[in-house]
Amino acid sequence: MYVSDMKNLLFLLLLASCTVDTTPVSLPHIFGDNMVLQRETPIPVWGTAGAGAEVKVLFNQQTKTAVADASGKWSLKLDAEEAGGPYTLTVQGTNEIVYKNVLVGEVWFCSGQSNMEWTVGQSMNFKQEKKEADFPEIRHIKIPKVIKNIPQTDFDSTSWVVCDSSTVASFTGVGYFFAKNLYEKLNVPIGLINTSWGGTNIETWTSREGFEDSDEFKEMIASIPVISIDSLERMAEGKGGKRIEKLQGSPLAIDSVEVVKSSFDDSGWPELNQPQLWEEQSLKALDGVVWLRKTVELKQSQLKPDAHIELSTIDDFDETYINGVKVGEIRQWNLKRNYPVPDGLLKPGKNVIAIRVTDTGGGGGIYGDPANLKLVLGKTSIPLNGMWKFHVEMVEEVINVNSFPSVAYNAMINPLIPYAFRGVIWYQGESNAGRAYQYRKAFPLMINDWRSKWGEGDFPFYYVQLATFGASGTSNLGCGWAELREAQAMTLDVPNTGMVVTTDVGNPKDIHPTNKQTVGQRLSAIALNDVYGIKQPHQSPSFESMTIKGSVATIQFKNIGSGLVTKGTDGEVGGFEIAGSDQMFYPARAVLKDNTVLVSSDKVKVPAAVRFGWKGDDSDCNLFNEEGLPAVPFRTDDWKTITKGVKYTTALSE
């Protein structure tokens, strides 16, 4: 090689070594104008830039620098700040990013399913709340609803929103009323990070690593490969249909013209309880089309003009037939069905009701108050609640947020790490009622998983126990809704947790009660007491012990505050049941005496167990402390539950 060639080569190598990576500096979309940063703790700031590039961050009177690693990642922590602002956060690399109107205050995550996602605009008294929503120091950001099977570092662009009358409608209702109460007491900025999704189960919010460390779930998670959602969808294709065909013992395809006729033979069809979401039953997480059929025997004397059929509410769409004739259809999941029956359509003898239900996602089937599922004939009615024949016609194989574990976590929680915050408020559980026993492990697992990911210790985690709702089940038949509440109460054993009881503010006929004000207030009472040192009533009365003397069981409570009271009755306490050793429960006479409840029944001579609020609709539970907090539903026995042994399955399960 000539000397000149050698010099040229050395020059080119030197030039290459001096080339500067000019990749622009960037930050995840959790950073933005109007954001709130957590006070009194180091403030993480992170992002990407060119490999080896220096990044400078300026905030208030601070200047910090970081150097991007070989992959372009950089991070630093600003020193802790007191509440205040507005400030500007400036990030400088080969370019400059400026975030304006930044506040420092208290940041809380708001997560869970639809009752957390439910907005202020959907809450009661919205017109008045809108008029009063002048809180420029309360800020809200809604994380986009996306699923991924691989942990993400960012999400699509979204914005922090300043609270006023024009924006408050879109805020999480529970979160907003929680924040409003905190703000009025603390007088510091409040930031809400709303990462919630209606209809989600808890397994979608837990990381893969969390499951891998769990004896309960490690076998399940090992069956899920670490590949893209698209690849998972291809693997799962057809498996849902095969599972259903095995369950019902016949192919999916069916003649829809014949199936509506009263002469159609459905004797080989399996059965489902209605009203009850089929996710809580053998169909599990099914999206698709299902035929429901029920046969009603009528006498000539029962046939009346102006008959109609009430089908409570159906998730999502229905087409309803009686004796082969369509009597109605609605394409909305939360409307009551009340269809007139043409005169002469009903006959003496056998009459067949056939309903084609289409479920597009989340819950499916007839749900709501069993009393609203009936055939009305003049002044009398024929109850239609109970077992219905079913046949699945079509299974939607598209992957949804509940098809696999961790997919909401990967896209909606992981990108937030390590953003600094004070704690979490959580409202979820409805979608896990069919697996309530397993929730005893799944819920603490998720809480500890999130805490492990942030590595900031046992941050506060406050949650809402399921509200009153007309879910099916009783103490004698079993009740997934009650068992889920029990699992939630048991999770109080996890350090630095708190639970709000909402049996008094639910709606037996609506799974989305609109009174989010009381829920937010009760959550804020826990936070104000436990986090901020503003002492106040924040715990509901809960079971402590039972003593039995003769035919009377005496129940002692803890957290009674200034004392126990009943509301709306002449001193008797509603919601109690009692059983002997035969495990058959009967409604009990319960009397409040000296802050204990004396429970008895003429049908139980020797009590063995007492239950309180052991059903979905807890409207008759009227036991409170004087501070207005309702008692926690409970049972004194450990007898068999209907959800024990029901395990989480995925779209790869057959």
Interior/surface letters 7-26, b for 16+ CB within 10 angstroms, e for the rest = eeeeeeeeeeeeeeeebebb
Residues in the chain: 654
Report which residue type is found at 490: M
At 284, the pLDDT band (50, 70, 90 cuts) reads: confident
The identity of residue 442, as a single letter, is A
> What is the per-residue pLDDT across 292-351, written as a single tens digit (0 to 9) for each?
999 999 999 999 888 999 998 898 899 999 999 999 999 987 788 999 999 999 999 999
**Do 354 and 450 belong together in one domain?**
no
Q: What percent of the chain has pLDDT over 70?
A: 96
Q: Phi, psi (5° rounding) for residue 132? A: -95, 0
**Under DSSP, is residue 233 helix (H, G, I), strand (E, B) or coil?**
helix
Q: Give the pLDDT confidence score for residue 335 in this predicted structure.
A: 80
pTM for the predicted model, two decimal places: 0.84
Alpha carbons 367 and 311: distance in angstroms, whole number: 9
- 450 and 474, same structural domain? yes
**pLDDT (tens digit per residue) in 370-387:** 889 999 999 999 999 999
pLDDT (0 to 100) of residue 17: 47
Q: Is residue 67 situated within a structural domain?
A: no
For residue 629, give the DSSP letter.
P
Domain membership flag for residue 479: yes
Q: Does residue 264 lie within any of the structural domains? A: yes
What is the C-alpha to C-alpha distance for residues 104 and 152, in angstroms, rounded to an integer?
Answer: 26
Considering the domain architecture, whether residues 365 and 406 belong to the same structural domain is answered as: no
Q: How far apart are CA 59 and CA 91, in angstroms?
A: 9
What is the DSSP pairing of strand 36-38 with strand 589-593? unpaired
- Whole-Å CA distances, 281 to 254, 431, 472, 505, 616: 22, 12, 11, 27, 16
pLDDT at 15: 44
Query: What are the structure tokens assigned to 421, written together?
Result: 């915050």
From 479, 504, 530, give the residue that closes a domain.
530
- 189 with 321, same domain: the answer is no
Do 302 and 439 sit in the same domain of this protein? no
Q: Is the model's pLDDT at 14 over the cut of 90?
A: no
Average pLDDT over residues 256-268: 93
Rounded to whole angstroms, how far apart are CA atoms 212 and 609?
38
Residues 323 and 389 in one domain: yes
Overall average pLDDT of the 244-266 stretch:
92
CA 370 to CA 351: how far, in whole Å? Answer: 20
Residue 1 has pLDDT above 70, yes or no: no
- In a domain? residue 384: yes
**145, 168: one domain:** yes
Query: Residue 437: which CATH number?
Result: 3.40.50.1110
29 found inside a domain: no
The H or E element containing residue 86 is: strand 84-92
Greater confidence (247 vs 16) lies with 247
Return the ∠ at Cα 77 (arms to 71 and 81), rounded to 5°.
Answer: 155
Based on the fold, state whether residues 383 and 410 are members of the same structural domain.
no
DSSP state of 144: P
Domain assignment present for 288: yes
User: Is 439 inside any structural domain?
Assistant: yes
Q: How many CB atoms lie within 10 A of CB 473?
A: 21
**Is 195 part of any domain?**
yes
Q: How confident is the model at residue 27 (pLDDT cuts 50, 70, 90)?
A: very high
Query: Is 48:25 a contact under the CB 8 Å cutoff?
Result: yes
Q: Which of 124, 71, 119, 63 is nearest to 92 (CA)?
A: 63
How many CA within 13 A on the CB side of residue 626? Answer: 4
Contact (CB, 8 A) for 296 and 279: no
Record the tokens describing residue 253, joined without a space. Answer: 């395809």
Question: Rounded distance, CA 207 to CA 458, Å?
Answer: 17
Q: Which two tokens stand for residue 56?
A: 């400078």
Q: How confident is the model at residue 654 (pLDDT cuts 50, 70, 90)?
A: low
Question: How many domains does the chain fold into?
Answer: 3
Residue bearing tokens 């999770």: 491
Question: Do 116 and 424 contact (CB within 8 A), yes or no?
Answer: no
Residues 367 and 388: their CA atoms lie apart, in Å, by 13
State the residue range of the domain holding 296: 250-395
Asked if residue 508 and residue 457 are part of one domain, the reply reads: yes
Q: How far apart are CA 578 and CA 62, in angstroms?
A: 65
Among 474, 505, 530, which residue terminates a domain? 530
Average pLDDT over residues 38-45: 98
Residue-wise pLDDT for 141-199, tens only, equals: 999 999 999 999 999 989 999 999 999 999 999 999 999 999 999 999 999 999 999 98
Percent of all residues in the chain with a pLDDT value above 90, rounded to a whole number: 80
Choosing from 350, 380, 395, the residue where a domain stops is 395
pLDDT for 114 beyond 60: yes
* Highest mean pLDDT, choosing among 4-18, 222-236, 322-336, 416-430: 416-430
Whichever domain contains 277, its CATH number is 2.60.120.260
Q: Measured between alpha carbons, how far is residue 615 from residues 18, 59, 418, 466 in Å? A: 72, 53, 40, 11
426 with 517, same domain? yes
pLDDT band at 266 (very low <50, low <70, confident <90, very high): very high
Same domain, yes or no, for 306 and 356?
yes
- The residue assigned the tokens 């950001």 is 141
- Is there a single domain that holds both residue 551 and residue 509? no
The helix/strand count (H/E) of the chain reads as 13, 34
